[in-house]
Amino acid sequence: MRFLALWGKKKSLAGLFVFGDKMQYLALDGKRGSLSVKAMVEVGLDMAPTQRDVWSDLVALEGHLLKLKKEIGGKWPGSAVLGIQSKDVMVKVVQVPRMDERDMKEAFKFEFDKHFPFPSQEAVFDLAMIDHPLDSGGETAFAVAAASRSRPVESFLQVCNKAGLMIQSVEPSAVAMLRALQGPDVPPEPCNLYVMAGFHTSLIVIAYKDNGILYRSVSYAFGKGRPAEDAFTSFAREIYSSANYAATQFNGLSVGKIYLGGYGLHYGEEIRDAVASMTSIPIELTDPWNVWEIKDPPDDRWGWDVVLGLALRGVDGK
């Protein structure tokens, strides 16, 4: 599978993710089939996620990054992939002329303003060609496009550099989540729906074969105490409507299975029951640590899906 990265193509087995009021770092060791955790640290950012943008205080971010570095022994195991949370990056599937990918990216600069609410001169973006159920093989192809405003991303890259951490790639959180939950082998169903029930927000991705063709971020959260009972029903309705969207927009393409992961696995049975009350699509609670056969996974591992996906980007070219 070809995964989208805003910057960089080199392999790494470590991920850094800053989201809400948390910073997570995970480094893996080994290769596919024999992976193990080399370092795994989470630090709080001492701020409520609704108070301000996590990118706004770069001095504070540097301090937290140095604290994280200290907690893993004062030395980074290697370079890392940086994840961008969903509110700071837009991910869309777009139609593009069928051409060499490098030429396609150059041509897309002139179409950028049609798809994103800020000019390409102020953005860091990338595209990757994907398989798509509506691709008829003509002059038009489909690609996943991701874009973020360049200033906060570049500023944080400078902070990482000051802290001695080399960033090899920058990737949207939804792309990393899909990698983690999908696993090293593509499921047999041609279309599946992946859900990360998150700490502050949740992600929903519809995948065709091994490519995401619809990316959504929803406001339901499962990280601060048990949600109200109606939250399970409302969240299930978002999942159901996403699955129904696939059938209506992609030539009757039906979702074969729903894979559920994330911090919300603390309430996995409740979410599964709520979804099952609305659809007959099979629902599987997914532990990505087991899917990727990572040795001795930590007990408290729910909610690490994104940073795990970032670290897994360097495994066998995935």
pLDDT of residue 51: 47
In this structure, are residues 204 and 239 in contact, taking their beta carbons and an 8 Å threshold? Answer: yes
What radius of gyration, in Å, describes the C-alpha atoms of the chain? 19
Residues 275/240, Cβ–Cβ less than 8 Å: yes
Token pair 């049975």 is at which residue?
269
- Residue 75 pLDDT level (bands cut at 50, 70, 90): very high
Q: Work out the end-to-end distance of the chain between its first and last CA atoms, rounded to an integer number of angstroms.
A: 6
In contact, 286 and 292? CB cutoff 8 Å: no
Going by C-alpha positions, the residue among 125, 180, 179 that lies closest to residue 149 is 125
Pairing of strands 80-84, 36-44: unpaired
Q: Exposed, middle or buried by CB within 10 Å (0-12, 13-18, 19+), for 238? A: middle
245-276 pLDDT, tens per residue?
Answer: 988 888 888 999 999 999 999 999 999 999 99
- Return the structure tokens found at 237: 């309705």
Looking from the CA of 306 toward its CB, the CA atoms found within 13 Å total 31
Location of structure tokens 């022994």: 73
Q: What is the pLDDT of residues 191-240, one digit of tens each?
A: 999 999 999 899 999 999 989 999 999 999 998 788 888 999 999 999 99
Q: What is the pLDDT of residues 147-191, one digit of tens each?
A: 999 988 999 999 999 999 999 999 999 999 999 999 999 899 999
Q: Are 181 and 196 in contact (CB under 8 A)?
A: yes
Q: Where are any strands of DSSP class E within the chain?
A: 14-19, 22-29, 36-44, 80-84, 90-97, 123-129, 140-149, 167-172, 191-196, 202-208, 211-218, 257-261, 283-285
Contact at 8 Å (CB) between 292 and 211?
Answer: no
CA dihedral 59, 199, 194, 255 (to 10 degrees): -130
What is the side-by-side order of every strand in the sheet holding 22-29? 36-44, 22-29, 14-19, 80-84, 167-172
